[in-house]
Structure 1
């Protein structure tokens, strides 16, 4: 196998040309890694968001991290961006860059393209990652402002029945989607909470998901509620956990801080005491200053061309 142009540290890189997937592991890295999964699909600008998220994570973390990136964009661009990290940070991570896949469902096109491209990929992790016990799914449009190992520690707080941990979605009673549809017979879906969840950050116990046949229940739920689903993964998890309310744990909103948490005063009161741990630029607020200038400013300061590690 020939060395690809521009790729460093090739002795640590296993390049699987068959399906365009890449795997990288530093030879000295230990195996007790935090596992993070992210989807990077659609526009090329998503690559920049993904790299910013990863760099922000590495700034605060002191533990080894295994990254699993599902994508339908430029695999090589992602690879080169990651291999351009400073060596001390590259030594801290292992990663896989994998082609987005949607197996064992009735309508792959629907799952791949509804709402945002590859948004449902996280629901396939129990099938796609059969040897992984637990993973944190992270949307590409987040910036870490605290160590990811503090978030990973929440797995220890989950009971034996709990498979997921998520933070609350929009808590503004004037704009909450889930409050709005609660009074609309044509849109209403089952909901275990008042404001439901935001699935941009999800702690997922994949072993528990496999043991309870989570994946087997997914396609029937989508078929039953297809005409009522708008925010695809948020809505699915809302419906699923209304049926199994013992299977999730609430995360503090500091771990998934949305513009909705502060657009009508401080609705995430934990943030006043503990600060924001993860900033989420949902609905393009990182890249559209007209929507929410503070989020956009935070992202601009973190763009790859400006984002440099200190030594």
Structure 2
């Protein structure tokens, strides 16, 4: 597949990723970034949020890449920070360590207009410009874009087990998330002020942490969310028993999401092989 060359006037693409826990998260983040750069001809600006003890390892790994490759992107590493609301440790431990950091990007990255957030276990198999182009499809009320958690409510997690409100029929998965930060900051419902009350109200029912909070938010504000096809967040759930992502039949997998540790275990050989190919490139 040919990728159109970038133009000098192309604005940078901003990508955020959060890495906490252990060295395995550093490796996943490095492979994640490598895939994004490999499939892009437009300069990417990465915003990496990481535990302080992981930051030297991240920098060391980046330095080992060839200079011609490093020239294709810039990056900034940030410490993990949460609002002074008395719930900092609870925010940090909500689902995976620090995953909820992404909820506070609008207030942290004040000078960034829009951003693509990705979990560490994400691999782009298509030009990131394609994903970024979804912003141009937003209508006047939409401020974010996500893919569905499932295609079929009969096998969906939210439709069967959720104990809180969720978006649409099957809920949404937050592993790949487009965020118009300017619109979020300017939203009438005051995004950040809403997070703590929702957490307090539903804290005992949040199985998937920050993803559940996003489902609750967009359940009550559906006009603010744009839906993307499942092939832009393709997970093991889509092929566990049968093919459950219709858009792959015509367009293939555009973005692979290695949840369930599928990049690292033998149960998912295709996911593991793709990850290894990018890691060892």
Normalised by the size of structure 2, how large is the TM-score? 0.92
Match of residue 272 from structure 1: 249
- The answer (yes or no) to whether the contact 2:10–2:42 under 8 Å persists in 1 is no
Distance 1:155 1:31 in 2: 14
Secondary structure class of the residue paired with 2:234: coil
Match of residue 298 from structure 1: 274
Match of residue 109 from structure 1: 89
- The answer (yes or no) to whether the contact 2:31–2:278 under 8 Å persists in 1 is yes
Classify 1:108/1:31 alpha carbon distance in 2 versus 1 (closer, same or farther; 3 Å). farther
Match of residue 222 from structure 1: 199
Distance 1:139 1:253 in 2: 16
Distance 2:136 2:43 in 1: 18
- The answer (yes or no) to whether the contact 2:15–2:47 under 8 Å persists in 1 is yes
Classify 1:134/1:283 alpha carbon distance in 2 versus 1 (closer, same or farther; 3 Å). same
User: Root-mean-square deviation (CA), in Å?
Assistant: 1.6
Match of residue 144 from structure 2: 164
Distance 2:72 2:85 in 1: 36
Alignment of 1:1-311 (within 5 A): 32-72=11-51, 73-173=53-153, 175-181=155-161, 188-212=163-187, 213-290=190-267, 292-303=268-279, 306-307=280-281
- The answer (yes or no) to whether the contact 1:145–1:277 under 8 Å persists in 2 is yes
- The answer (yes or no) to whether the contact 2:22–2:54 under 8 Å persists in 1 is no
Secondary structure class of the residue paired with 1:160: coil
5+ residue gaps, structure 2: 1-7
Secondary structure class of the residue paired with 2:260: helix
Q: Which shows bigger deviation, 262-271 or 45-54?
A: 262-271
Distance 2:238 2:55 in 1: 34
Distance 1:108 1:93 in 2: 32
Post-superposition shift, 1:127?
1.1
Distance 2:10 2:108 in 1: 20
Q: Which shows bigger deviation, 100-109 or 207-216?
A: 100-109
Normalised by the size of structure 1, how large is the TM-score? 0.83
Larger radius of gyration: 1
Distance 1:263 1:194 in 2: 20
5+ residue gaps, structure 1: 1-28, 182-186
> Which whole-Å deviations, capped at 9, do the CAs of 1:186-208 have from their partners, x for residues lacking one?
x5211231111110000001111
Classify 1:31/1:275 alpha carbon distance in 2 versus 1 (closer, same or farther; 3 Å). closer
Distance 2:118 2:210 in 1: 13
Post-superposition shift, 1:287?
1.5
Post-superposition shift, 1:56?
0.7
Post-superposition shift, 1:173?
4.3
